[in-house]
Each structure stands twice: as structure tokens, then as C-alpha cells.
Amino acid sequence: MKTRIETDSIGKRKLPKEAYYGIHAQRAKENFSISKEKLHPLLIKHLAHIKQAAARTNQLGGALPQTIGSAIETAAAEMAEGIWNEQIIVDSIQGGAGTSANMNVNEVLANRALELIGKEKGSYQIIHPNDHVNMCQSTNDVFPSAGKLAMAELLEQLLTELRYLDDSLFQKKLEFADVAKIGRTQLQEAVPTSLGASFGAFQAMIHRDILRIQAVREKLFTLNLSGTAIGTQVNTTKYYRQHILETLQHFYSDTLFLADDLVEATQNLDVFVEISGCLKTLAVGLSKICNDLRLLSSGPHSGFAELALPICQAGSSIMPGKINPVIPEVVSQVAFHVIGNDLTVTMAVEGGQLELNAFQPILFHDLFASIELLSNAGRTLTNSCILGIEANQNHCAETLANSDSLITAIAPLTGYEHATILLKEARKSKKPVSALIKNTKMMSDQRLAQFLDLPESHQPTGSD
């Protein structure tokens, strides 16, 4: 294998001659063999956009020769398309606050730019990763800005899946509006409700999650770009400071904003705790929905059996015909993972010290993972579960007719104490409460139906 020699402040190192990455990335790969996962493709994409905008801005400001700047722009445009992702070799979990990620990108862009102008890779006296590609930048403003923009794109994908789930739950709310059933508190029979109301509650919760995520996503477009090391804008030009965001804006439909206080924006990452909190809230809600779906579909003969989930696969290696609620189960497992990631994000943000937070790599790693897990879980829950749910309407009506919960219908007429006595009588005589109510003639069939809010065909009949 042909090699080339590169030098840094530590010493010299052999690299594959055809490698686009350089000595910094090579050392980082050796130092950080942690997750075995490379940088997220969207993080690479948005790092490339920032490099492209910086090269263009520095050309227009007269700080970067056009030949060099144009080559860097072209290389960055290629990287944004994913062409050079395999050359980004550093682990996604790394020390150095993201410096290795930034330098890996700088080195690949420098060497590709050199190639574009007909020069050998490693000819850094012509195009240098730091002096030219990283001009007017620092890892400390580039890396968090790219992370925010990547996260915003991922959140938009999540919102698409949540809107799909929201609409599907709303359709089930309408479909099951007339399916009367027992409402339960603390797993005990309480008062009548409808299956449509249950799905309406699911839908309302998901809709709130959508609104929360939409609101917090907007905060990701406030960047500390041009703040460089600690927000003081050291090593930048006046032209760059005034135009970098304007140039970067060409790549985005959402409006970008410069943070009012760049020093504060560089050291404090509390927005990521807020985002993680929204993701945790969503995860908790999704798991609660799945808990309810597992209960309502339990049985099929000895449980609630008020609805039937789509059959996805055989459920047992030993019990013939057993079917398990595998989709709600996997969504709950996603929720558990996201809740765990939230603690990691919280500790990473809390762990920042003085002018910089060094723990952004794990923060981005876990937030990206949470968002993608929730997107996949939302789509799976909708397609493989919600859309195919069927109501066991007759069973719901039958169990409601025989439920103690109907005693609540006459409590306002008899008083709480007398209603309790009547309930005890029904239990002792082993007669349904609906029959007892009819026999006492304290409430007409029409009044009872109004209390239950049942269609005429599903009114409980009871028996003498």
C-alpha cells in the first residue's frame, strides 16, 4: 500500500496515499474506538454546508483566494451529497468537544480541493485544513451549529410520522365513536365511556407532543456561528461576521438567527435538555398508549378483549396459535431507551464547564438516536397496529350491560349510600345492575340509555 507522511504537533504519521482524511482523523480513530459508529450522515451534511458557506463568505470578503475557495466549495457540495461519508472515520463518541469531527471534515475537504486543482493529497502548503477550510471558524461554533441543523432536520422527519399517527388515531376516534364500553379507573370498573373516547384521548396527547416539538424545533435555528472559540469572535474578519449567516441561509428554508450573546450561546446547551424533555414526554405518552392497547386487547377469551390488534406473527415457540401484541411491545422498548437517553443528555449538558461544554458528541449521538427511534416507532405503530385495530363491539356492549358501573346512573336519584346498598343486592343475587335498575323503575330505559350515551341497538337489556 502506498503511503504519505503527514506531520502535526505530536509528530509524523504514515497515512494511506489515497486517503482523503489526514493525521488528526487517523489519531482520533485510534484514540476513540468507542461506539464503533461513525458520525451521523446528517451531521456530516450540515458540517459540509457550513464549510461551503464559510469558503464562499471568505472569498467574497477577500480573505480566501478564489481558486482555493472555489475548490473548497465544490468539495463541500460533494460532501453534503454524501459522496465522501466513508472518509469520515472518527467515532461519533469522542473527546475534544467535536474537534476530531471538525478536523476530519476539514482534512477531507482540503485533500479533495487539492485534487480538484490537480495537486497531490497532503499538499497543505497550498490548501490547508486549518488555514483555509477552517478559516474564521472554530469547532466550538461549527460543531454545535451543524448539530442543531441536523437535529432540526431529524425532528421534521419525526413530526411527519407523528402527524400520520395523529390523523390515524383521529380516524379511529370517529370509527369507534359509537362503541360503548366500560371506563376503568385503577383497573376497576368506573363509568361507561366509548372506545372512540379512548382513541380521542390518545390522539389529543399525540397532538400536544406535535405542538411541543414544533415549538422547540424553532429554537434550533439560533446559532453561535462566528463566535469561534468561546463566543468572542476571535480570528474572524468583519466581513465574515456580517455575512456568514446570510450565506448559510441559502441552504435552508427555515430562517437562521445569530444568538444575541455568543459567549452565552457557546457555553450553555440547555436547549438540548428542553428537546430531550419533549422526546421523553413523547416516549412516555407512546408507551402509555401501548400499555392501554395491550390491556384492551388482552385475552382473547380471558382478558378485556375489547379490541383486536392486527396479527403480525406467531407468538410462541411452544403454544400453538398464541398471538402477542408485539408492536406495542417494541414501541414501549423504544420509549425505555429514549427515557434513558434523556438522562445522558441531561448529564452531558450539566457537565459543561466555564466557556465550553466538551460533551456535545454524546449529546448529539443520543439525541439523534432518540429522534430516529421515535420516528421509526411512530411509523411502525401506525402502519402495523393502529390502522388495523378492530373493535369487539358486541363484547363491549355485553360487558357494559353486566357491569357494576351502571349503578352510578341512579346514584343521583337514590343517593350514594342507597346506591351502594342496591349494588350489594345485585352482587348477592348475581343479577346484573342493569336488570336491578330496570326492576326498581327508578330510571326509564330512555334515561338509562342517555346516561350510557348508547345507540339504541346497543342498550343493555339485563334480565329478571
Percentage of the chain beyond pLDDT 70 is 95
pLDDT, tens digit, for every residue of 225-253? 999 999 999 999 999 999 999 999 999 99
Mean pLDDT on 105-130: 98
| Structural domain ending residue among the three candidates 135, 169, 189 | 135
Q: Tell me the C-alpha distance between 26 and 15, whole Å.
A: 8
Task: Classify residue 423: in a domain, yes or no.
Answer: yes
End-to-end CA distance of the chain: 93
pLDDT, tens digit, for every residue of 384-441? 999 999 999 999 999 988 888 778 877 887 789 888 888 888 888 888 877 777 776 6
The CATH number for 128's domain is 1.10.275.10
Domain count, the chain: 3
pLDDT at 462 over 60: no
pLDDT, tens digit, for every residue of 170-203? 999 999 999 999 999 999 988 889 999 999 999 9
The CATH number for 317's domain is 1.20.200.10
Regarding whether 169 and 126 lie in a shared domain, the answer is no
pTM for this structure?
Answer: 0.92
Give start and end residues of each alpha helix (H) in 89-231. 99-116, 139-175, 195-217
pLDDT of residue 460: 39
Regarding whether 166 and 64 lie in a shared domain, the answer is no
Regarding whether 351 and 438 lie in a shared domain, the answer is no
Residue 424 neighbours by CB distance under 10 Å: 11
pLDDT, tens digit, for every residue of 214-224? 999 999 999 99
Q: Tell me the C-alpha distance between 262 and 225, whole Å.
A: 8
Task: Classify residue 397: in a domain, yes or no.
Answer: no
Beta bridge partners of 257: 222
Q: Tell me the C-alpha distance between 119 and 433, whole Å.
A: 90
Decide: 167 and 175 in contact? Cβ < 8 Å: no
Decide: 350 and 335 in contact? Cβ < 8 Å: no
Decide: 365 and 37 in contact? Cβ < 8 Å: yes
Instruction: Spell out the residues 6+ positions from residue 64 whose beta carbon is closer than 8 angstroms to its own.
Output: 55, 58, 72, 132, 135
Rg, Å, the chain Cα set: 31
Regarding whether 42 and 119 lie in a shared domain, the answer is yes
Regarding whether 359 and 297 lie in a shared domain, the answer is yes
Regarding whether 290 and 355 lie in a shared domain, the answer is yes
pLDDT of residue 411: 81
Regarding whether 302 and 323 lie in a shared domain, the answer is yes
Task: Classify residue 254: in a domain, yes or no.
Answer: no
Residues classed as catalytic: 316
Read off the amino acid at residue 383: N
User: Which helix (H) or strand (E) covers residue 258, if one does?
Assistant: strand 257-258
Beta bridge partners of 14: 5
DSSP secondary structure, 299-366, as one string? -SSSS--SEEPPP-S---SSSTT----HHHHHHHHHHHHHHHHHHHHHHHHHT-BTTB-TTHHHHHHH
Task: Classify residue 233: in a domain, yes or no.
Answer: no
Regarding whether 365 and 417 lie in a shared domain, the answer is no
Percentage of the chain beyond pLDDT 90 is 81
Q: What is the mean pLDDT of the chain?
A: 93
Q: Tell me the C-alpha distance between 346 and 78, whole Å.
A: 35
| Structural domain ending residue among the three candidates 80, 110, 135 | 135
pLDDT of residue 100: 97
The CATH number for 416's domain is 1.10.40
Regarding whether 182 and 109 lie in a shared domain, the answer is no
**Domain extent at residue 71:** 3-135
Q: Indicate the pLDDT class of residue 268, thresholds 50, 70 and 90.
A: very high
Regarding whether 331 and 350 lie in a shared domain, the answer is yes
Task: Classify residue 249: in a domain, yes or no.
Answer: no
Beta bridge partners of 356: 353
Q: Tell me the C-alpha distance between 334 and 311, whole Å.
A: 20
- Name the nearest CA neighbour of 136 among 56, 21, 216, 46: 56
Regarding whether 406 and 383 lie in a shared domain, the answer is no
Q: How far is residue 31 CA from its own chain's centroid? A: 30
Decide: 310 and 389 in contact? Cβ < 8 Å: yes
pLDDT, tens digit, for every residue of 274-316? 999 999 999 999 999 999 999 999 998 899 999 999 998 887 7
Regarding whether 179 and 124 lie in a shared domain, the answer is no
pLDDT of residue 451: 62
| Structural domain ending residue among the three candidates 76, 111, 135 | 135
Q: What is the largest CA-CA distance in the chain?
A: 99
